[in-house]
Structure 1
Amino acid sequence: MEKETARIEAFSDAVFAIAVTLLVLELHVPEFNEGKNPAALLHALCAQWPGYVAFIISFFTIFIMWVNHHKLFKQIYKRNTGLMFANGLILFLASLVSFPSSLLSQFFRTPSEQIAVSIYTGMFVLVNIAYNWLWYEACKDNGLLRPGLGAGDIRKIRNDNLYGLPAYLAAFALSFYFPTTALIICLLLWGFWVRSSKKLEIEN
């Protein structure tokens, strides 16, 4: 079967690449009049540590999203309108990742940390829903999937996506009362997605 999703994948890769590239714009060279003082420069660079944390979180979040997106589309050969809109939602959220990550890095461990963590965890609820929607659209018409992909493989991918939803919903609910616990759940789920992405290594 000829693969019809090449344009979707190329456009998606471009959006992921641009989203990652724009992250570096949040890193700024310190502006002060003591440029000849190494200690002052080092102090100014260290003072910007929240920006570095936001960059790292955002980069790896987008990277993990891209890895799983890429591996899903290895199993999707055709497209329909619903699949394209689900994919568009994923790309929209990938473009948005840097904002809640910046909020988190700047306001964690401050009186406003609950709001920052709630926005951050809420974003991941939406990301997980978008991936579930994408796979639902791909599976509801088996003609969209790679020929020879077994029912067990389809169910395995679906279940991995679904497992993340209650965990993210729990993190979002906990963020209103236990922000640190909610954040830990989200970080642990990074490991889950890295592990589950290996299950998408189904040979063509």
Structure 2
Amino acid sequence: MIRRRARPRTATVSTRRLEAFTDGVFAIAATLLVLDLTVNDLSGATTDAELWHGLVGMWPSISSFAISFFLLCLLWSIHVRQFEYIVHVDGTMLVLNTLRLFGVVLIPFTTSLDSRFGGLALGQTLLPVNFFWVVLFGYLLWLRAAAPGSGLIEGLSPVEAARSRRDALSAVILGAIVVIAAPFIGSWAFVAYAFDSPLSRLLSGGVAPPAGSDALEPDPRSE
């Protein structure tokens, strides 16, 4: 009889299944975003002018779709870069990733709310809150993975890992700013994410990664 070897309570496992599952959830969420764009409102168009007018009227839906799609792809790319360094996952990381994906699957829904109820403060706020949720739990996941002595990452020195944790905080701060600003300026609040690199350098004391170093280029950070 083969005896199954007992694992310690702090056992870690391979990242293969977590990566595959996470990739699948991101892909499905990104695909579902387009379902909010339909031609139903254009069915009455009989001339080019009427069709163009109808497309212009769909602008809120199109802009919400574009914002969510590109931000979601950015978060996925950060997830991919994180797992270039993460070689093992533990139970805490599985929980944090599950909470992150809970936010990911809600993005098509909150995107629809943003496009249809963008004139209301709540309608403008729920999508930024949704993205903040995903960014926050991605940040917490990276904190856990890059914690000193965790043994969950490879390829980063302790100094580089410490810098990456500080850099990752910038996305959380900007996400909070977007949530606060959205009720006042709507989707324009998402422009705040464009300041991620300057804020990352500020949080790292203005020190850029060494020339030629790819350890933190681009920096692994939260989704």
Q: How does 1:45-84 map to 2 (within 5 A)?
A: 45-84=55-94
The Cα of 1:190 is off from its aligned counterpart by 4.3
Matched, 1:200 2:204: no
Question: Would the alpha carbon gap of residues 31 and 135 (structure 1) be closer, same or farther in structure 2, given more than 3 Å must change?
Answer: closer
The residue identity in structure 1 corresponding to 2:16 is A
Percent identity of equivalent pairs: 29
Partner of 1:186: 190
Alignment match of 2:96 (pick from 73, 86, 91): 86
Question: Would the alpha carbon gap of residues 31 and 188 (structure 1) be closer, same or farther in structure 2, given more than 3 Å must change?
Answer: closer
Partner of 1:134: 141
The Cα of 1:17 is off from its aligned counterpart by 0.9
The Cα of 1:100 is off from its aligned counterpart by 2.8
Alignment match of 1:145 (pick from 153, 166, 177): 153
The residue identity in structure 1 corresponding to 2:192 is L
Select the structure of larger CA radius of gyration.
Answer: 2
The Cα of 1:81 is off from its aligned counterpart by 0.9
The C-alpha deviation readout for 1:69-103, integer Å capped at 9, x for no partner, is 11011110001111111112222212222333333
Higher percent of residues as helix: 1
- In structure 2, what is the Cα distance between the partners aligned to 1:174 and 1:39? 36
Structure 2 unaligned residues grouped into runs of 5+? 1-12, 201-215
The Cα of 1:175 is off from its aligned counterpart by 4.6
| SS of structure 2 residue aligned to 1:158 | helix
Question: Would the alpha carbon gap of residues 150 and 32 (structure 1) be closer, same or farther in structure 2, given more than 3 Å must change?
Answer: closer
Q: Is the 8 A contact 1:77 1:144 kept in 2?
A: yes
The residue identity in structure 2 corresponding to 1:126 is W
